[in-house]
């Protein structure tokens, strides 16, 4: 079992009073599907439940801004940006609810794009499909196996030297305006391969994602992958929904790429009658935080309908939509 970590504050904070009142060992029999973890394992697992209560007030200094004009709210953990009204991303919504009808009309009813424009890039540990006409990745796929590595993340973003310049973004510079260089395949699932980690920072694997979405709902899908790959081997497939909103295409001149309206992801685990899948369409908005991830749950069948993709999952699993995202197992090492 990996070391358990209790992260009380993401930044410096002051806790007036902390009281741990109870520790209970709980035996779970995983011969049958458990409603929380949904794993199949002939062995029983001992889970130690720590019930911790905080009394008093947790306070923190609000902190300064980074070079992109953003910082984390130390009270809520949310990441946000302070930019002028002329620079504020317009791809926002007063509602965090998923509008599938909008995505369907913008993307799902059109003919598939000509495959002659798409390059398959087989990197170390993952595959990306790059649309030359859009200078952007449109789909990705990888297998996530038991975590055996802990290599650090690579700091530098680069163009892929083996891809024609007209097929990728014009520059690897930061986007700015409250948008991150968002990974389609995150480096953490590649942390046993230095080559894979470096290749994940190629701009052929990067698209503009609002910082709230990239560090919020999208990050949580990555953490779910990181934790559940230690339970089962996972197949992860995802991609882009471009939509038809030109108002947020800030980076066409600087980078040659439009800003997607949403991103989709499917995680598949198990085999045969034990096969399970979970799927999301995550809007590329400032409201796409971790707390809202469950609102973006869809069935695999819905992903296929909206995108035109055929997802390799059993038919009986394509129409299931969980009521909530898979729970992060207690003590999971997300590093």
- Percent of residues, the chain, with pLDDT higher than 90: 59
Name residues whose C-beta falls within 8 Å of residue 55's C-beta, 6 or more positions apart in sequence.
16, 17, 18, 19
With left for phi above 0 and alpha for psi between -120 and 50, is residue 93 left, alpha or beta? beta
- Do both 47 and 184 map to the same domain? no
Alpha helices in the chain (DSSP H): 100-103, 194-199, 211-214, 217-228, 300-307, 315-318
109 belongs to a structural domain: yes
pLDDT band at 130 (very low <50, low <70, confident <90, very high): very high
Average pLDDT, the chain: 78
Average pLDDT over residues 232-252: 95
pLDDT per position as a tens digit, 267-294: 999 988 899 999 999 999 999 999 999 9
Name residues whose C-beta falls within 8 Å of residue 135's C-beta, 6 or more positions apart in sequence.
166, 167, 168, 169, 170, 255, 256, 257
- Do both 174 and 289 map to the same domain? yes
Residue 43: burial class (beta carbons within 10 Å; 0-12, 13-18, 19+)? exposed
Is the pLDDT higher at 6 or at 262?
Answer: 262
Give the whole-angstrom CA distance, residue 226 versus residue 216. 15
70 belongs to a structural domain: no
- Do both 157 and 35 map to the same domain? no
- Do both 192 and 304 map to the same domain? yes
- Do both 39 and 97 map to the same domain? no
Is the pLDDT higher at 71 or at 178?
Answer: 178
- Do both 203 and 314 map to the same domain? yes
173 belongs to a structural domain: yes
325 belongs to a structural domain: no
Give the whole-angstrom CA distance, residue 334 versus residue 17. 27
Residue 46: burial class (beta carbons within 10 Å; 0-12, 13-18, 19+)? exposed
Is the pLDDT higher at 78 or at 56?
Answer: 78
pLDDT above 70: residue 110 = no
Name residues whose C-beta falls within 8 Å of residue 111's C-beta, 6 or more positions apart in sequence.
none
Say if residues 325 and 267 touch (Cβ distance below 8 Å): no
Q: Both tokens of residue 58?
A: 């947790």
pLDDT above 60: residue 232 = yes
76 belongs to a structural domain: no
Say if residues 81 and 92 touch (Cβ distance below 8 Å): no
- Do both 165 and 276 map to the same domain? yes
- Do both 50 and 133 map to the same domain? no
Average pLDDT over residues 106-125: 68
Domains held by the chain: number: 2
- Do both 199 and 125 map to the same domain? yes
Give the whole-angstrom CA distance, residue 315 versus residue 317. 5
69 belongs to a structural domain: no
So what's the pLDDT on residue 30? 37
With left for phi above 0 and alpha for psi between -120 and 50, is residue 260 left, alpha or beta? beta
160 belongs to a structural domain: yes
252 belongs to a structural domain: yes
**Residue 180 sits in a domain of what CATH number?**
3.40.570.10
- Do both 42 and 186 map to the same domain? no
Task: Give the residue among 222, 152, 131 at the shortest CA–CA distance from 194.
Answer: 152
pLDDT band at 41 (very low <50, low <70, confident <90, very high): very low
- Do both 236 and 129 map to the same domain? yes
- Do both 106 and 24 map to the same domain? no
SS (H, E, C) 96-157: CCCCHHHHHHHHHCCCCCCHHHEEEEEECCEEEEEECCCCEEEEEEEEECCCCCCCCCCCCC
Task: Give the residue among 281, 242, 247 at the shortest CA–CA distance from 135.
Answer: 242
Residue 34 is part of which domain span? Answer: 17-54
């Amino acid at each position: 079992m990996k070391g358990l970590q209790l992260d009380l504050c993401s930044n410096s904070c002051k806790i007036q009073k902390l009281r741990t009142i109870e520790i209970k060992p709980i035996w779970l029999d995983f011969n049958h599907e458990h409603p929380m973890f949904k794993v199949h394992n002939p062995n029983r697992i001992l889970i130690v439940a720590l019930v911790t209560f905080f009394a008093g007030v947790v306070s923190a200094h609000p902190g300064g801004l980074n070079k992109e004009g953003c910082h984390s709210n130390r009270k809520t953990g949310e990441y946000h940006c302070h930019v002028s009204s002329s620079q504020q991303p317009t791809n926002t919504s007063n509602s965090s609810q998923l509008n599938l009808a909008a995505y369907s009309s913008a993307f799902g009813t059109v003919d598939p794009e000509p495959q002659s424009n798409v390059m398959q890039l087989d990197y170390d540990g993952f595959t990306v499909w790059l649309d030359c006409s859009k200078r952007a990745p449109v789909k990705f796929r990888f297998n996530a196996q038991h975590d055996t590595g802990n290599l650090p993340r690579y700091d530098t973003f680069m163009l892929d030297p083996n891809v024609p310049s007209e097929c990728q973004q014009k520059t690897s510079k930061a986007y700015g305006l409250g948008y991150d260089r968002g990974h389609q395949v995150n480096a953490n699932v590649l942390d046993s391969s230095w080559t894979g980690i470096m290749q994940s920072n190629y701009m052929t694997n990067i698209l503009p994602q609002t910082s709230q979405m990239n560090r919020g709902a999208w990050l949580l899908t990555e953490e779910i992958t990181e934790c559940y790959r230690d339970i089962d081997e996972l197949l992860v497939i995802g991609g882009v929904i471009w939509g038809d909103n030109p108002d947020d295409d800030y980076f066409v001149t600087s980078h040659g790429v439009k800003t997607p309206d949403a991103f989709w992801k499917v995680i598949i685990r198990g085999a045969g009658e034990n096969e399970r899948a979970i799927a999301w369409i995550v809007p590329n908005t400032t409201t796409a935080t971790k707390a809202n991830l469950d609102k973006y749950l869809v069935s695999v069948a819905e992903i296929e309908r909206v995108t035109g993709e055929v997802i390799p999952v059993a038919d009986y699993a394509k129409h299931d939509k969980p009521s909530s995202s898979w729970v992060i197992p207690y003590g999971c090492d997300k590093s």
